[in-house]
Amino acid sequence: SGRVVVAVCRKAFIFDTETNELLHILEGHTGDILCCRFSKDGRRVVTASKDRTAKIWASMTGRLQLTLSGHTNRVTACDFSPDG
Protein backbone atom coordinates (compact mmCIF):
# COMPACT_ATOMS: atom_id res chain seq x y z
CA SER A 1 0.00 0.00 0.00
CA GLY A 2 1.08 3.58 -0.52
CA ARG A 3 1.60 6.24 2.09
CA VAL A 4 1.53 10.02 2.07
CA VAL A 5 2.85 12.52 4.62
CA VAL A 6 1.05 15.84 5.13
CA ALA A 7 2.07 18.71 7.41
CA VAL A 8 -0.42 20.98 9.16
CA CYS A 9 0.90 23.63 11.53
CA ARG A 10 3.26 21.91 14.00
CA LYS A 11 2.34 18.29 13.20
CA ALA A 12 2.83 15.92 10.28
CA PHE A 13 0.46 13.06 9.51
CA ILE A 14 1.22 9.81 7.70
CA PHE A 15 -1.76 8.26 5.92
CA ASP A 16 -2.27 4.97 4.08
CA THR A 17 -3.37 6.04 0.58
CA GLU A 18 -5.43 2.91 -0.07
CA THR A 19 -7.50 2.95 3.13
CA ASN A 20 -7.19 6.66 4.06
CA GLU A 21 -6.25 5.41 7.54
CA LEU A 22 -4.18 7.74 9.70
CA LEU A 23 -1.08 5.72 10.59
CA HIS A 24 1.02 8.15 12.64
CA ILE A 25 1.07 11.70 13.95
CA LEU A 26 4.56 13.21 14.08
CA GLU A 27 4.69 15.68 16.97
CA GLY A 28 7.65 17.59 18.39
CA HIS A 29 8.16 20.81 16.45
CA THR A 30 7.50 24.10 18.26
CA GLY A 31 6.98 26.02 15.01
CA ASP A 32 4.99 25.34 11.88
CA ILE A 33 6.32 22.63 9.56
CA LEU A 34 7.23 24.08 6.17
CA CYS A 35 8.33 20.92 4.33
CA CYS A 36 8.17 17.13 4.75
CA ARG A 37 9.48 14.24 2.66
CA PHE A 38 9.83 10.47 2.69
CA SER A 39 13.26 8.93 2.16
CA LYS A 40 13.67 7.01 -1.10
CA ASP A 41 13.26 3.67 0.69
CA GLY A 42 10.20 4.94 2.59
CA ARG A 43 11.66 4.08 5.99
CA ARG A 44 12.13 7.66 7.20
CA VAL A 45 10.44 11.04 7.02
CA VAL A 46 12.19 14.39 7.37
CA THR A 47 10.37 17.54 8.48
CA ALA A 48 11.60 21.14 8.33
CA SER A 49 10.17 23.82 10.58
CA LYS A 50 9.99 27.48 11.52
CA ASP A 51 11.43 26.39 14.90
CA ARG A 52 14.89 26.28 13.25
CA THR A 53 15.13 22.50 13.28
CA ALA A 54 14.76 19.55 10.94
CA LYS A 55 13.64 16.25 12.39
CA ILE A 56 14.00 12.69 11.11
CA TRP A 57 11.30 10.17 11.98
CA ALA A 58 10.86 6.41 11.55
CA SER A 59 7.93 6.24 9.14
CA MET A 60 6.75 2.78 10.26
CA THR A 61 6.50 3.75 13.95
CA GLY A 62 6.27 7.55 13.97
CA ARG A 63 9.14 7.66 16.46
CA LEU A 64 11.51 10.64 16.40
CA GLN A 65 15.04 9.49 15.51
CA LEU A 66 17.04 12.70 15.25
CA THR A 67 16.69 16.46 15.68
CA LEU A 68 19.00 18.59 13.56
CA SER A 69 19.38 21.90 15.38
CA GLY A 70 21.73 24.86 15.14
CA HIS A 71 20.13 26.57 12.16
CA THR A 72 20.11 30.37 12.46
CA ASN A 73 16.73 30.80 10.77
CA ARG A 74 13.67 28.75 9.96
CA VAL A 75 14.26 25.63 7.89
CA THR A 76 12.21 26.02 4.73
CA ALA A 77 13.13 22.90 2.74
CA CYS A 78 14.30 19.34 3.33
CA ASP A 79 15.11 16.16 1.44
CA PHE A 80 17.28 13.07 1.65
CA SER A 81 20.40 12.61 -0.45
CA PRO A 82 20.03 10.01 -3.24
CA ASP A 83 22.14 7.51 -1.27
CA GLY A 84 20.02 7.83 1.85
pLDDT for 82 equals 87
pLDDT digits (tens, 9 = 90+) for 2-25: 999 999 999 999 999 999 999 999
Query: Between residues 1 and 65, which one has the greater pLDDT?
Result: 65
pLDDT for 84 equals 67
pLDDT for 83 equals 81
pLDDT for 1 equals 64
Residue type, 69: S
CA distance 48 to 31: 9
Residue 61 buriedness (CB in 10 A; 0-12 / 13-18 / 19+): exposed
pLDDT digits (tens, 9 = 90+) for 55-83: 999 999 999 999 999 999 999 999 999 88
CA distance 70 to 61: 26
Hey, which residues does 12 pair with through a beta bridge? 7, 26
